[in-house]
Structure 1
Amino acid sequence: MEHILRPIYQERASQANTLGVLLIEKKDKASPVTDTFDAVLLIITKESEQPLYVKHYSYEDKKASMNIVSEEQLKDWLLMGTNRKVLEWILNGKVLFDRNDYIHNLKQELREFPFYGRKIKMGIEFSKLIRRYLDGKAFFENNQYMDAYNHIVHSLHHLARLSVIENGFHPEVTVWTQVKQIEPEIYKLYKELISSEETIEKRLELLFLASEFLIHSRSEMGSTHLIDVLQEKDIWSFDEMLNHPDLSLYSVDLSVLLEYLIDKNYITVIKKETKGQDIFHRYYSV
């Protein structure tokens, strides 16, 4: 399909703002990687008025998708893990245009997966894991088993992704295939949750018991990035954390992660008097 799409991507490649162009073609009929399209064009630009621009094309009985993404949006996806397909697009896509080896260097960086990048991704994944796990536990204790099940399935996904990152790999679309090889214990937990013949209440009860240790054992690694940032100074207000460029990545999960780490004695609460009687400002320290 490359020759059909050539006029489309050549026009973009000629623009000084374009950093690289990749072609991803569907290999398997049921493959989720190309979002049902026969081909995907990924065009990375230095800057753009909108972070993502998508256009669809048809040719005979086939369809293609052109995705023009800014470098900033791409880096955000790769860091936050919010678009897992794009990782596979970059690593496995055919390079059609590469300005100053931008794509080549990006592929190399993704394969090497430097520890600093891993540390941030582990922190974000761990915060999502804690949010889902605690919410699931609360639903379970209130006998809301279907809602508890939904949250726990998500928490196991985050645990699986955390395990993959911890081992130096990027979580792929087929993350459970990776986890089966890397950490079969987590894979077994997930399989038991979704396929056991026990009642949903019993399945959840057993899972909470088993996963407590797996989560606790990752607390130090999962909180490394947050702790490192907080060690930059002695005392923090929560607002200062929210507005720190690195910690803002945690978004709505930051408060839940913070309370979890207080409970596990990684972080201390410091109270300071206000003008109101028996009301204190709450500050935090490692």
Structure 2
Amino acid sequence: MTSPATPRTALVTGANQGLGRALVEGLAARLGPDDLVLLTGRSPERVASAAREVAARPGTRSRVEGRVLDVTDTAAIAALAGELRTAHGGVDIVISNAIARVLPEDSQAARADEFIDVSNTATHAVLRSFGPILRPGGRLLVVASALGTLGYLDPKLHPLFEGAGLDQVEYAVESWRTAIHNGTAQEAGWPRWLNIPSKVAQVAAVRAVAAERRTRDLAEGTLIASVCPGMIDTATSRPWFTDFSGAQTPARAAAAVLDLVTLDGVDPAHYGELVQFGKVLDWHAGAPLTEQDALLKP
């Protein structure tokens, strides 16, 4: 991603800690002194503190500012996009990273609304609000997971996401939410583990938006994709695994994502796909994880 004549604006959601903060730190180190990196999160105190700390890091080159953003508030997402369009003429880099922390001992059904609102409703809002103001040559990435491939869902659910538009993906997500509340989710084939349908829906949403924009975006060097950063040693992921010997630090995981952000040009093979460490993951890969479901509270 070559440095343009005009200053660039970058934004990361869920950026107070973990991977999100590492992404902000990496962007602030890689972008130029005239560029702006916005660190966003829900808590005003934590956002202000994190932004100050990143700005003071020795390796920081760009301007860093905090913005309070509750991603469950879709109107707030739209308002921030409007602010950036007015103040900066658009945005160059958007990384949608926010996630709700759920522990293995938590009831998946009880946490469903929060999880879906943060991971899915917010992703849809980011795509709808920031996609139209993404400048030519820009990057819009959604942090997902290797579990976001279609094969991890029951085959009877595949038609909900295969070749779906964004409206259809939203309908599928809300159908899943309703089934959880009605106690019919497992009967319909939805896995108990919230992370799987959520990640599949995130990747499907990116694919939906990318399908509509592909020709124009590739002509302009613009990239829209979902990314899998791999296993990361964070407070969110640690409770789920017993072996962390292969886990990355947030900084290392962020570096692989940012390599995709700052790469000159766009590989058409990456466009609209789920990318991990520079390689595209097969949309149809995977198999339902029935053992994982058995370990979870309903």
How does the TM-score come out when normalised to structure 2? 0.26
**Greater RCO, CA 8 A, separation 6+:** 2
Q: Would you tell me which structure has more helix in proportion to its own residues?
A: 1
How does the TM-score come out when normalised to structure 1? 0.27
